[in-house]
Amino acid sequence: MFPTSIYNAITIMDPKWFDMLEQFKIPYRPEIMINFGSNSVMTMGNAEVVTENFLKKFNFIFSFQLYITEFEDAVADIILPDTCYLERFTPAVSFPSTFSHPQGEDDWGWTVRQPVVQPLYERRDFNVVMLDICKRLGIAHKYYKGLNDTVPMRYGGPMSDKYKLKEDGSVDHTWEDICDRLLKDRFGDEHGLDYIKEKGVFTWPRKKEDVYWKWFNPVRVPVYFEYFIDGGEKISKLMKSYGVGEGHPLDLDWTRFKALADWYPCPSHIEEKNPPEFDMYTFYWRSVIHCNSLTQQNPLLDEMSHEDPYVYAIQMHKDTAKEKGIAEGDWVWIENTAGHRVKGWVALTDGIEPYHLAIAAVAGHWTDYQPIAKGKGTFFNDLVEMDKDHTDPLTLNQDICCRVKIYPV
Amino acid sequence: MPGVGTKTPRLGMVIDLKRCYGCYACVTACKTENFTPPGVFWARVLKGETGEYPNTVRQALPVLCFQCEDPSCMTVCPTGATYQEDDGVVRVDRNKCIGCNYCKMACPYGARYMVEKWESYFPDGLPLSEYEEYAKNRWEEKSGVGVSTKCDFCFERRENGMEPACVRACPANARIFGDLDDPDSEPSILIRDNGGYVLNPEHGNKPKVYYLPTR
């Protein structure tokens, strides 16, 4: 298994997932989905499975989006035009992410986004709209409480009473006020939004203890993960209490809950599960041009993608291609053992293991609303199966290792 | 930072190929600074591959106008539109350029671009947004259509005491800009100590953009 995704397939991708809620006596059913700038039709796994088994089960979906994606095209009832990052305040850009922080001996920094231009057309910041909706529904106090509760969880340490949002309704907080309070709570009275508007960023010196932290922290790295055993026993007992025992389709492989790290082959590496014509592995990589997001609709990045010989191509070893009668630039189908297939053109290279295929980013958009991105690159995630077989029982993360065959279009 | 109006330096650049990982930040910075329309790359990153599996190396090669000492683009210009500033930077006087393309043909490094018709990056047929209007106006002010265009080491930025946009944007500090006449400048030291070289010296143009070896 190569579980790398934060999404889990088993809990949401079964077409009868409402039955699963019934099984575990969960009293409510999700009815409304609010989407913020993501395109989960493309980012989770096989698009048809995600759409039919999961997204279409919601009665109502509204989505904040900068431009229409496959998600809005397929399932959104209402689209609310969002601002781009240059048009809004974001009080914590790179935190609590574990990346995008100053490295080495450089100063620590806290970056804040602020609008440098007014929003085009009638776009509105999703933060402002959500606040507005809560106020109109008369639940602003719940929104304030949610933020008050979230700040200590996400950023660490209690929030000062002085800067907590007033849950009693005595203050009508605006989004800018909320940003100001968060910054002052973290950095002191003098370092609110006015400070950041002038200075742009907070920096402070990094101590040697921060740089060489391993030396100063007497931490021990655990070798045995006993809590997996305890956790597995607890979960197993709980599931049995709901009638999910041995032989039930939802039962997990409890032998994996053990104290020592171990390796189990994923379906792609179990030979009897793969007919001989499925002789290739395909994997996904991120071009630096399109990291962390789906950015093929950005015309500058799209133009640069054409400059790079590999970003929109399926990379294949030249000798393997010759063996299969495939030439540079040929259009091919890549098909997995479940019969899901994706199309793309081949770039021959020596820079890849002979029986592997490399596909960049989550490309291959198909919606007419993204004319720049449409039809460019290959949609890798259509090859990712969303089922229990491809889900790691320990983490419920999804297996993205795909065994495939390749043949000309 | 050497720039316009200071003691006449001989401006040049060093690109450290050990540091460049082909992220295109320089290209993006150039495009957003100079509002170059689609298809125009005053800064460009070429990518190639050498060796056989499993000993294969992929290498990025950033290129731009090399601001040659003896620029053939200037030699062939029939109107004197192409000229050299005192600091050695090769520029184009758009009012003198007749769009004959001789410079484009003469440049051995493919650094010249001619735009026959300004095009938007958003080919949807909708009216231009205010930002596209701004980009179009900026392009027409500086370069325009029907005339030859090229990198000038971000003349306007240098006028304001800033480095070229591609240098500023490089996250790996692979681009080092400075005075090649000053033996103590960073580029001079890097070229001297690390075997700096120019591309295709056989053309005889004496480029002022040097490369440091990949390894």
Helices (H), A213-351: 213-216, 226-241, 299-307, 318-323
Across the strands, what pairs with A343? A333
CATH topology of domain B11-212: Alpha-Beta Plaits (3.30.70)
Residue B47: which of A308, A350, A354 has the nearest Cβ?
A308
Per the CB < 8 Å rule, is B121 touching A299? Answer: yes
Q: What is d(CA A55, CA A40) in angstroms, rounded to the nearest whole number?
A: 9
Residues A28-57 pLDDT 10s = 888 999 999 999 999 989 999 999 988 998
- Helix (H/G/I), strand (E/B), else coil: B61: strand
Residues B34-77 pLDDT 10s = 999 999 999 999 999 999 999 999 999 999 999 999 999 999 99
Give A-chain residues touching B28 at CB under 8 angstroms.
300-301, 304
Range A243-249, long-range pairs (CB < 8 A, 24+ positions): A243/A23, A244/A23, A244/A24, A249/A388
Identify the band that residue A379 occupies on the pLDDT scale cut at 50, 70 and 90.
Answer: very high
Residues B18-34 pLDDT 10s = 999 999 999 999 999 99
Residue whose C-alpha is closest to residue B33's, from B171, B167, B190, B194:
B167
Give A-chain residues touching B41 at CB under 8 angstroms.
307
Per the CB < 8 Å rule, is A307 touching B27? Answer: yes
Interface probe, candidates A305, A308, A322, A323, chain B, greatest B C-beta count within 10 A: A308
Q: What is d(CA B185, CA B175) in angstroms, rounded to the nearest whole number?
A: 14
> Could you tell me the residue ranges of all domains in chain A?
17-212, 226-256, 267-408
Mean of pLDDT values over A249-266: 89
Chain B: residue whose CA lies nearest to A302? B121
Residues B117-157 pLDDT 10s = 999 998 777 889 888 999 999 999 989 999 999 999 999 99
Task: Return the half-sphere exposure (C-beta side, CA atoms, 13 A cut-off) of residue B178.
Answer: 16
pLDDT at position A2 is: 40
Mean of pLDDT values over B169-175: 96
Mean of pLDDT values over A188-200: 93
**pLDDT(A389) > 90:** no
Q: What is the mean pLDDT of chain B?
A: 94
Give B-chain residues touching A353 at CB under 8 angstroms.
53-54
Lowest mean pLDDT, pick from A205-214, A320-329, B40-49, B173-182: A205-214
Identify the band that residue A250 occupies on the pLDDT scale cut at 50, 70 and 90.
Answer: confident
Q: Who contacts B143 (Cβ-Cβ below 8 Å, separation ≥6)?
A: B34, B92, B94, B115, B149
**pLDDT(A181) > 50:** yes
Q: What is d(CA A47, CA B166) in angstroms, rounded to the nearest whole number?
A: 39
- Please report where in the chains the tokens 């683009």 appear, as a residue: B73
Mean of pLDDT values over B74-81: 98
Identify the DSSP state of B46: E
**pLDDT(A350) > 90:** yes
Mean of pLDDT values over A82-106: 82
Interface probe, candidates B34, B45, B52, B53, chain A, greatest A C-beta count within 10 A: B53
Per the CB < 8 Å rule, is A120 touching B130? Answer: yes
A288 touches chain B (CB under 8 A): yes
**pLDDT(A229) > 90:** yes
Options 3.40.50.720, 1.20.1260.60, 3.40.1350.10, 2.40.40.20; CATH for A267-408 is 2.40.40.20
Mean of pLDDT values over A200-217: 88
Give A-chain residues touching B131 at CB under 8 angstroms.
117, 120
Give A-chain residues touching B23 at CB under 8 angstroms.
288-289
CB A295 within 8 A of CB A360: no
Residues A6-35 pLDDT 10s = 455 666 667 777 788 888 898 888 899 999
Identify the band that residue A4 occupies on the pLDDT scale cut at 50, 70 and 90.
Answer: very low
The two three-digit tokens of residue B198, written as one number: 């120019």
pLDDT at position B212 is: 98
Per the CB < 8 Å rule, is B130 touching A351? Answer: no
Percent of chain A past pLDDT 90, that is, above it, reads: 67
B172 to chain A nearest CA, in Å?
A: 13
pLDDT at position B65 is: 98
Give A-chain residues touching B22 at CB under 8 angstroms.
288, 308
Interface probe, candidates B24, B40, B55, chain A, greatest A C-beta count within 10 A: B24
Identify the band that residue A398 occupies on the pLDDT scale cut at 50, 70 and 90.
Answer: confident
Give A-chain residues touching B52 at CB under 8 angstroms.
350
**pLDDT(A5) > 60:** no
- Please report where in the chains the tokens 């005053």 appear, as a residue: B42
pLDDT at position A125 is: 97
> Could you tell me the residue ranges of all domains in chain B?
11-212
Give B-chain residues touching A300 at CB under 8 angstroms.
28, 31-32, 121
Give B-chain residues touching A349 at CB under 8 angstroms.
49, 56
Residues A339-348 pLDDT 10s = 999 999 999 9
| N-terminal to C-terminal alpha carbon distance within chain A | 30
**pLDDT(A101) > 80:** no
pLDDT at position B4 is: 53
**pLDDT(A98) > 80:** no
**pLDDT(A380) > 90:** yes
CB B205 within 8 A of CB B92: no
Per the CB < 8 Å rule, is B49 touching A350? Answer: yes
Q: What is the mean pLDDT of chain A?
A: 91
H or E element at residue A196: helix A193-199
B55 to chain A nearest CA, in Å?
A: 8
Across the strands, what pairs with B49? B58
Interface probe, candidates A103, A118, A288, chain B, greatest B C-beta count within 10 A: A288
**pLDDT(A360) > 90:** yes
pLDDT at position A399 is: 86
Residue B157: how many CB atoms within 10 A of its CB? 20
Residue A304: which of B21, B24, B53 has the nearest Cβ?
B24
